Amino acid sequence: MKTTLAVIVGAVLLSMAAFWFGFRGEDVPQRVETPAKASAKPKVKLPATPMLGTKDPDSLSVASALAARITADARTRCQQVMAITDANQRKLAFEKLLAETTDLAGLRGILETLLALRSGGRDIGTEWAGFWGILSNRDPKGTVALIEIYGPREKWYAEAVGMAVREWAVLDPQSAILWLQGNQALTGEDLDRATLRLIEGYASRDLVAATAYVVGILEPNDPLFHSMSQTLTQKALQTGGAEGLVSWFSQLPSDAARRLFFRDVTARLGEVGPEAQQNWLANNAGSSFRDDQMYVDYINALVKDQPQAAMEYAMKLPRSAESGTYVGIGDAASEWLVMNPDDFVSYFNRLRSPQTRQVIAESIQAMLNDPNLPPQKRDLAVKFLQSLTQ
């Protein structure tokens, strides 16, 4: 994943621009040659605050009398806020406290109070998320500077970075991406999670650009791609409903891109309702980008209650553009044989078309090539095929 992020500021974004021609938002990060050139680019003017980013954090000494007094006062006020029993009142008081705290020493006092409560077993989830969310929205560069004061040795470092870059990507995805790309402390799953949070924020700002970015930096077989796809399809569904999700999918410029997201779009439409998912599958059955497994899954669910309907659905599907074979027929037939072999044999014998009977028999035969086929299904399939030769 670290290698993946290093590509962000290189040639990937150029190829991404070509791949996503006609489908990019205004905020797709542009190619930056070197950190020096990046620093020379015009900066987004961030809200000026006296608390963060205006001083070198390392030059601030909490040992000084003034800083110590500010920190102590912030701790006391935060403790008073956290003692409020009503959750809504506590939330409002905490937000007020953050709004009134405009210096680094005070923020450290609040943070260290939260950390002490957390280490003591107190559930501070709302305040913890609010602390990083509010600060990052107010001054993202200053917020990551605050996090870096404590550094990656802290257990909460990766979590805080994730929340910070999410909000930063809503405001300025280019800068958030560059900062995370330059972060040498995060690796492996921590880096993956931070990248995913960044995409959440980016998608909230510009779903089209975030989609282009994801396809540009990740390979389809990257373990992180599915999580990214889930994030993007969820955002598309949230913002536009089923129609918006389908519209977002239809704007993808190539069948290769559509194939990548087909599975998660199908799953999201299943959340809307069975009819939405059925219509989606029916409308795309003849497409070159369909995901065959989604049709197999649908048939396997249908056959449990309506075995004949599942068989007829499977037989109406066009051949797979990927394999050139029929999909789902063998699955429906083998499951029906387990459920009620006599009913299946009766159905099969009523079929008048020799071609249809042959397709079903060949599909059942193909199921035997699956080494993971359950023994009961295998035995019944073999028995049925043998009966055809008698």
DSSP string spanning 306-325? Answer: -HHHHHHHHHHSPPPTTTSS
- From the number of C-beta atoms within 10 Å of its C-beta (0-12, 13-18, 19+), residue 261 rates as buried
Query: Residue 193's closest CA among 169, 219, 224, 218?
Result: 224
**Predicted local distance difference test score (pLDDT) of residue 101:** 94
Buried b (16+ CB within 10 A) or exposed e, 336-351: bbeeeeeebeebbeee
Buried b (16+ CB within 10 A) or exposed e, 146-159: bbeeeebeeebbbb
Question: Quick check: 147 and 111 in contact, CB under 8 A?
Answer: no
Q: Tokens 């020799």 map to which residue?
A: 354
**Predicted local distance difference test score (pLDDT) of residue 68:** 87
Query: Residue 209's closest CA among 17, 5, 369?
Result: 17
**Predicted local distance difference test score (pLDDT) of residue 102:** 87
Question: Quick check: 181 and 29 in contact, CB under 8 A?
Answer: no
Dig out the tokens for 21 from the structure. Answer: 């021609």
**d(C-alpha 14, C-alpha 19), whole Å:** 9
- From the number of C-beta atoms within 10 Å of its C-beta (0-12, 13-18, 19+), residue 170 rates as buried
**d(C-alpha 281, C-alpha 296), whole Å:** 11
CA distances from 140 to 74, 154, 238, 281 (A): 21, 20, 26, 43
Buried b (16+ CB within 10 A) or exposed e, 189-222: ebbbbbbbbbbbbbbbebbbbbbbbbbbbbeeee
Q: Per-residue confidence of the chain (390 residues) as pLDDT tens digits?
A: 444 444 333 333 333 333 333 444 444 454 322 232 333 333 333 333 334 444 455 544 444 778 888 889 999 999 999 999 999 999 999 999 999 998 899 999 999 999 999 999 999 999 999 999 999 999 999 999 999 999 999 999 999 999 999 999 999 999 999 999 999 999 999 999 999 999 999 999 999 999 999 988 888 888 899 999 999 999 999 999 999 999 999 998 789 889 999 999 999 999 999 999 999 999 999 999 999 999 999 999 999 999 999 999 999 999 998 888 889 999 999 999 999 999 999 999 999 999 999 999 999 999 999 999 999 999 999 999 999 987
Look up residue 59 and give its DSSP letter: G
**Cβ-proximal residues to 146 (8 Å cutoff; 6+ apart), any chain:** 52, 57, 104, 107, 108, 111, 135
pTM of the predicted model, to two decimals?
0.75
Which helix (H) or strand (E) segment is 266 a member of?
Answer: helix 255-272
